[in-house]
A = this chain, B = another copy of it.
Amino acid sequence: MSTLVSEDASMDLETVGWVGDARSGHVRLIDQTLLPNEFVRIDLTDVPGVWEAIKTLRVRGAPAIGVAAGFGAVIGARSGTDTRLSLREATAYLRTSRPTAVNLFWALDRMDRVAAEHPELYGAELVDRLLTEALAIESEDKAMCRAIGAFGASLLTPGQGVLTHCNAGGLATADYGTALAVFFSAHAAGKAIHVFADETRPLLQGSRLTAWELQRRGIPVTLICDNMAAQVMKEGKIQMVVVGADRIAANGDAANKIGTYGVALLAKAHGIPFYVAAPSSTFDLSIPDGSHIPIEQRDPREITHGFGRMTAPAGIDVYNPAFDVTPADLIAGIITERGVITPVTTATIQRTFIA
């Protein structure tokens, strides 16, 4: 149940949003699987459509998935005669779209909770309240990302070169990103910076998404293969590295896209500060350190059959970890919506979040 809405790129780019009122509105999101060749927004008017969009990575990035799921719950709630029952069925179903995505569960739990907290609401009134909550998830994300951008931009000096890995951009959030928010904010403040984007094998989020986001905002960006980062650092082109995070342990160890740990080691070897940009919801204070974060293995075909043709021998053994963990001692600071945590220790993190 999707309609294609192709349109010109505009500067303020909403990754996922709500169109219309609570009764008849729907989800509209950028189909990220088509980028950068096609910029297409799709309209999703039922829960299976939202489920499929999350499942197939049309929408990806923890915060963006949370926003999409919240809106999906609104659509689900109004799909039957019993609003509460329909909501429960929708949130249960949406949870199966990406079982490992922490923000998906967080957003759906929040939708269920707001219904439970308002037993007095029925039908259209409850749907109205649910949309208010989903819009709050979206607007809170927008505000957090802008705060991260502002704090991070203060660390940058005009003329500096920066490097990022994967896509922690607007496309991974409601609209402004985490690591890329730092660059957007610096650029908006008139600080001339030059971004080097790792292409980020195997799925090329760096070349497909990060390079595209920076290019359309007019921020100078140079695309490199992942294995060129060391050479670019050696040539003195990089003064700071900023990446996102999927999950941060209580001591600051940070899980992020595979390759991030290597970039952190290369940055250290060249004396370049390495920063992580992430909202407070990324911290998991229940795990003491990164050794408690399991490393997901992904489909070997992402490596052997990337982009439409086979580029490795048939039957070859492949190791394809989805992410790695960068130890806190390689991280100069974590840029959050509450400020920059530095040095990165269990104590400084606790001070930030339990105050």
A138 close to chain B: CB less than 8 A: no
Instruction: Quickly give the copy total for this chain.
Output: 2
Residue of B nearest to A306 (CB): B307
Q: Is the CB of A207 within 8 A of B303?
A: yes
What mask results when residues 294 to 327 of chain A are scored 1 for a CB within 8 Å of chain B, else 0? 0100000001101111111111111111001000
Within the complex, the shortest CB–CB distance from A218 to chain B, in Å, comes to 12
A221 at interface by CB-CB < 8 Å: yes
Q: Does A160 contact B (CB under 8 A)?
A: no
Residue of A222, A262, A295, A307 with most chain B CB atoms under a 10 A cut-off: A262
Instruction: Tell me the nearest residue of chain B to A220, going by C-beta.
Output: B317
B229 touches A303 (CB 8 A): no
A: number of interface residues (CB 8 Å): 58
Known contacts: A261-B234, A262-B262. The answer to whether A227 contacts B201 by CB under 8 A is yes
User: Which of chain B's residues have a CB closer than 8 A to the CB of A317?
Assistant: 220-223
Contact of A269 among B221, B259, B265 (CB under 8 A): B265
Q: How far is the CA of A298 from the CA of B315 in the complex (A)?
A: 31
Do B258 and A303 touch across chains, with their CB atoms under 8 A apart?
Answer: no
Instruction: Tell me if A199 is interfacial: C-beta within 8 Å of chain B.
Output: yes
| Residue from B208, B226, B313 in contact with A215 in the complex, judged by beta carbons closer than 8 Å | B313
Chain B residue contacts of A102, Cβ below 8 A:
none
Question: 19 new A-B pairs (CB below 8 Å) besides A231-B295, A268-B269?
Answer: A36-B312, A165-B227, A198-B227, A199-B311, A201-B226, A201-B227, A204-B311, A211-B316, A215-B315, A225-B258, A226-B227, A227-B227, A228-B320, A231-B261, A231-B324, A234-B324, A265-B266, A307-B311, A308-B308
Chain A residues proximal to chain B, CB less than 8 Å: 36-37, 165, 196, 198-202, 204, 207-208, 211-212, 215, 220-232, 234, 258-259, 261-263, 265-266, 268-269, 295, 303-304, 306-321, 324
